[in-house]
Amino acid sequence: MLRKTSLAASVITRSGQDEHQLQEIPRTESPTGIDVNELPNKYQDYTLPPAVQTAMSSWIKNANGLALIMTLFAAVQIVVIQILPPLVDPDGVSKNSTLWKTTRWFVYAGILFHLGGAGSSMATILQAAHLPSRGLTMALEQPDSLPHRVYQKGANIPVELLVDIAEYDLLCSWGLQRRWNACAVHMVFCFYLGFICSFISLTLWVWAAEVELGIAPAALLLPLAVVAGSTAHYVLIG
């Protein structure tokens, strides 16, 4: 009987020690020292702050629009290449004037600019779309980051990052990769350069095709008038 009593006491003592050891288990922490057990539940439904979401959405929409426009321009110019006069006739004699050769050069340049810009647009969209997951990772694993200060400590986004000229810095603070800026700049430059090449090639094409009929100057006045009118409307009305 005494032996059974001592055995029971030993079991109770061991159970108490085990429970005490379980209570002394250290809290689970990430490599950066953040207590995972105390993470707020809002991390499960993580969303970007409205200011960051607005900046990201505007860039994605702009890149989508530019990608569509540049793709259409490239397709049209590829068709133009097919209908331009051949460089040589069936006998192998070159009959292309310098004007037609210049037109062909600008058409090819426009195609390359537009295709390159469309590729940069897709890279810009993909990097911007990855921003929410990058921001969540920074909030969980980087205590010194802005996402962590906002979600873990309840801090506000600095006012200087909320103005339009600081949009890029705001996105970078939320995890946007620095090379994104190079993609965005390349996208915009390719759009403008491709548009200029397309306009010049169209102008040269109209001039070369219609100069003998005497209507080339009149045909060129229309797009110039449209550009001038649009510029005046932008300057006066905004």
**Domain map of the chain by residue range?**
48-201
pLDDT at 13 (0 to 100): 47
* pLDDT tens profile 147-167: 778 877 777 787 777 777 777
Determine the Cα–Cα distance for residues 46 and 136; give it in Å rounded to an integer.
Answer: 7
* pLDDT tens profile 49-73: 888 888 888 888 989 999 999 999 9
Which distant-in-sequence residues (6+ apart) come within 8 Å of 59 by Cβ? 124, 128, 171, 184
pTM of the model: 0.67
Most confidently predicted of 35-39, 117-121, 196-200: 117-121
CB atoms within 10 A of CB 176: 23
φ, ψ (nearest 5 deg) of residue 28: -70, 125
CA distances to 82, 83, 85, 89, 105 from 93, in Å: 19, 19, 13, 6, 20
